[in-house]
């Protein structure tokens, strides 16, 4: 059944691995809107950010012009521990679906963080170390980012303080234990250890926490502890820059075999994987060199692209972080407790938001039972147990492949398989037991949070 020339898995040689990150902003005619100071509502200056972020990361965050960032040797060495990641030709899935479509997926789960998050974690830890810092703070929801950062900090001998959304902390004790294995300290959020945490607990006793709230706590600790900075695993421009390594490898692997995708699909929470995966393809599209359909897939229970608004909003619940212009559901929005996977952030990467607003990409939202159906179908034929997040992309890839079966078109579909679901078995269990439902926010609910958006 296999195409003669294309193996099941395409691995680049070490010597073929990307030597630079690609900054898609350099090819955007309309640049993403700047971050605003939450107090003055004026564009953030580097010096205003320097208490929060590492200096080099601020430079990367604000740099809309440099196209290529050489990847430092120490990071390239670390990448060699788990990269290049395989680009897999989904021969077995194609056969199962009886589709003429050719399906590829870039699998980022073959490392202990279980996802692509490590690509940016190691970069951020490297720059923190280089600046002579003692440690970093962060938040984590599902736990992939926290795990990745713990691994990266352990490698460079940095202290790592993770605020983990309380509901995840309780439901995923094993994630916490992996972080401990890498020497990180993990605090359930909201906690009594920060001022903002105590405030949130006083206002909402018994709250199980949210990403926005854990961010506020992590930022407070970073800015009030000498030698610490805050790091973030998604949304930010710098993260998309680091994650471009996914797309670069994907494109190099496809080019090796003369394959040109018609459709590129990725799941979208804050945009870290999608933004990285599509970068070089989007670059060609922006430069008018090629055209691709690019599809962002989000959960119907947290639909920032498809039901949010494009506006300035706070990145965190405590409103201590800069304002970003992005597709957002409002910083008070938290997905309903029935929502199983990650992808639960209220906003979306400013870069992706801008590209979406300018019509360079599409977005669809999918209900979670359909996502888990796709996950199980995929696991059974491709042998990988996918993360719920990744399974959003699988769902739409399968849908597109089935459409090809109807039309007879031999489209080439590439999607991002961000990670594995080993720590998500409670969600799989609900799916098997039939206790998972597809509740989505009502228009009234969304209107409430929208009304609370800052007026800028």
Segment near a copy of itself (CB under 8 A); pick from 60-68, 300-308, 381-389, 438-446:
381-389
Beta strand residue intervals within 215-371, DSSP E: 228-230, 263-267, 293-299, 309-314, 323-328, 362-366
Distance of CA 289 to the CA centre of its chain: 27
**Under the criterion CB under 8 A, does residue 252 sit at the interface with a copy of itself?**
no
Question: What's the closest the beta carbon of residue 120 comes to a copy of itself, in angstroms?
Answer: 15
Q: Looking at 3, 9, 67, 409, which residue binds a copy of itself (CB under 8 A)?
A: 9
Nearest residue (CB) to a copy of itself, 70 versus 157: 157
Nearest residue (CB) to a copy of itself, 161 versus 285: 161
**Under the criterion CB under 8 A, does residue 376 sit at the interface with a copy of itself?**
yes
Distance CA 64, CA 56 (A): 14
What distances in angstroms separate CA 317 from CA 146, 217, 285, 345, one per listed residue? 19, 10, 35, 11
Segment near a copy of itself (CB under 8 A); pick from 30-38, 195-203, 308-316, 383-391:
383-391
Distance CA 268, CA 66 (A): 25
Question: What's the closest the beta carbon of residue 373 comes to a copy of itself, in angstroms?
Answer: 12
Question: What is the greatest pairwise CA distance in the chain?
Answer: 64
Nearest residue (CB) to a copy of itself, 345 versus 372: 372
Q: Looking at 31, 45, 67, 180, which residue binds a copy of itself (CB under 8 A)?
A: 180
Question: What's the closest the beta carbon of residue 90 comes to a copy of itself, in angstroms?
Answer: 10
Segment near a copy of itself (CB under 8 A); pick from 243-251, 296-304, 391-399, 426-434:
426-434
Q: Could you give the string, one character per residue 140-179, with x where binding to a copy of itself holds by CB under 8 A and - elsewhere?
A: -----------x--xx-----------------xx--xx-
**Under the criterion CB under 8 A, does residue 182 sit at the interface with a copy of itself?**
yes
Nearest residue (CB) to a copy of itself, 108 versus 313: 108
**Under the criterion CB under 8 A, does residue 434 sit at the interface with a copy of itself?**
no
Number of residues counted as binding a copy of itself (CB under 8 A): 45
Q: Looking at 226, 288, 383, 434, which residue binds a copy of itself (CB under 8 A)?
A: 383
Q: Could you give the string, one character per residue 61-100, with x where binding to a copy of itself holds by CB under 8 A and - elsewhere?
A: ----------------xx-xxx---------x--------
Nearest residue (CB) to a copy of itself, 51 versus 173: 173
3-state SS assignment for residue 362:
strand
For the purposes of burial, counting CB atoms within 10 Å of the CB of 381, is it exposed (0-12), middle (13-18) or buried (19 or more)?
middle
Q: Is the dihedral of CA 59, 217, 297, 348 positive or negative?
A: negative
For 254, residues 6+ apart whose C-beta sits below 8 A from its C-beta are: 10, 87, 104, 260, 261, 414
**Under the criterion CB under 8 A, does residue 110 sit at the interface with a copy of itself?**
yes
Q: Looking at 224, 260, 290, 422, which residue binds a copy of itself (CB under 8 A)?
A: 422
Q: Looking at 336, 405, 432, 447, which residue binds a copy of itself (CB under 8 A)?
A: 432
Tokens representing residue 333 in the block = 């929005």
Q: Looking at 420, 440, 446, 450, which residue binds a copy of itself (CB under 8 A)?
A: 420
- Helix boundaries (H) for 349-418: 350-357, 368-382, 388-407
**Under the criterion CB under 8 A, does residue 379 sit at the interface with a copy of itself?**
yes
Place of tokens 């691994």: 151
Distance CA 316, CA 322 (A): 9
Tokens representing residue 257 in the block = 């075999």
Count other Cβ atoms within 10 Å, centred on residue 25: 21
Nearest residue (CB) to a copy of itself, 167 versus 319: 167
Segment near a copy of itself (CB under 8 A); pick from 5-13, 40-48, 235-243, 293-301:
5-13
Q: Which of residues 12-51 bind a copy of itself (CB under 8 A)?
A: 13-14
Q: What angle do helix axes 237-256 and 55-62 make, rounded to 10 degrees?
A: 70
Q: Are strands 293-299 and 362-366 parallel, antiparallel or unpaired?
A: parallel
Question: What's the closest the beta carbon of residue 85 comes to a copy of itself, in angstroms?
Answer: 11
Tokens representing residue 249 in the block = 């490898």
Q: Is the peptide bond before 190 cis (omega within 30 degrees of 0)?
A: yes
What distances in angstroms separate CA 342 from CA 209, 337, 427, one per listed residue? 14, 12, 11
Site residues for a copy of itself per CB under 8 A: 2, 7-9, 11, 13-14, 77-78, 80-82, 92, 110-112, 114, 118, 151, 154-155, 173-174, 177-178, 180-183, 376, 379-385, 420, 422-423, 425-426, 428-429, 432
């Amino acid at each position: 059944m296999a195409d003669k020339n294309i193996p099941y898995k395409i691995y680049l040689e070490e010597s073929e691995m990307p030597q630079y990150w690609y900054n898609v902003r350099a090819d955007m005619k309309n640049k993403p809107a700047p971050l605003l100071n939450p107090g003055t509502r004026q564009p953030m200056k580097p010096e205003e950010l320097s208490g929060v972020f590492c200096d080099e990361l601020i430079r990367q965050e604000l740099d809309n012009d440099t196209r290529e960032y050489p990847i430092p040797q120490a990071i390239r060495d670390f990448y060699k521990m788990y990269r290049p990641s395989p680009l897999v030709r989904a021969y077995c899935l194609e056969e199962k679906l009886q589709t003429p479509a050719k399906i590829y997926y870039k699998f980022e789960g073959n490392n202990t963080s279980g996802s692509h998050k490590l690509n940016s974690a190691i970069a951020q830890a490297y720059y923190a170390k280089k600046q002579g810092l003692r440690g970093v703070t962060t938040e984590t929801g599902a736990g992939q980012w926290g795990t990745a950062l713990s691994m990266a900090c352990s490698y460079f001998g940095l202290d790592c303080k993770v605020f983990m959304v309380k509901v995840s902390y309780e439901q995923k004790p094993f994630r916490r234990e992996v972080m401990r294995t890498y020497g990180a300290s993990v605090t359930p959020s909201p906690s009594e250890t920060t001022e903002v945490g105590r405030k949130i607990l006083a206002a909402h006793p018994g709250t199980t926490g949210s990403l926005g709230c854990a961010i506020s706590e992590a930022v407070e600790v970073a800015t009030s502890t000498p030698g610490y900075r805050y790091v973030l695993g998604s949304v930010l421009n710098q993260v998309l820059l680091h994650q471009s390594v996914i797309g670069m490898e994907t494109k190099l692997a496809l080019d090796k075999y003369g394959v040109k995708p018609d459709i590129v699909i990725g799941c979208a929470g804050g945009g870290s994987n999608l933004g990285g995966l599509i970068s070089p393809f989007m670059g060609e599209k922006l430069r008018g060199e090629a055209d691709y359909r690019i599809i962002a897939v989000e959960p119907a229970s947290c639909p920032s692209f498809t039901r949010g608004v494009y506006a300035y909003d706070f990145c965190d619940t405590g409103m201590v972080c800069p304002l970003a212009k992005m597709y957002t559901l409002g910083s008070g929005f938290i997905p309903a407790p029935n929502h199983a996977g990650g992808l639960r952030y209220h906003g979306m990467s400013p870069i992706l938001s801008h590209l979406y607003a300018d019509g360079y990409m599409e977005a669809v939202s999918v209900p979670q039972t359909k996502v888990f159906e796709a996950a199980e179908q995929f696991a059974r034929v491709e042998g990988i147990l996918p993360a719920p997040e990744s399974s959003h992309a699988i769902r739409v890839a399968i849908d597109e492949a089935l459409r090809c079966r109807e039309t007879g078109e031999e489209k080439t579909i590439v999607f991002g398989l961000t990670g594995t679901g080993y720590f998500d078995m409670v969600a799989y269990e609900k799916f098997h037991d039939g206790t998972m439902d597809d509740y989505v926010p009502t228009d009234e609910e969304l209107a409430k949070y929208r009304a609370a958006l800052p007026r800028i």
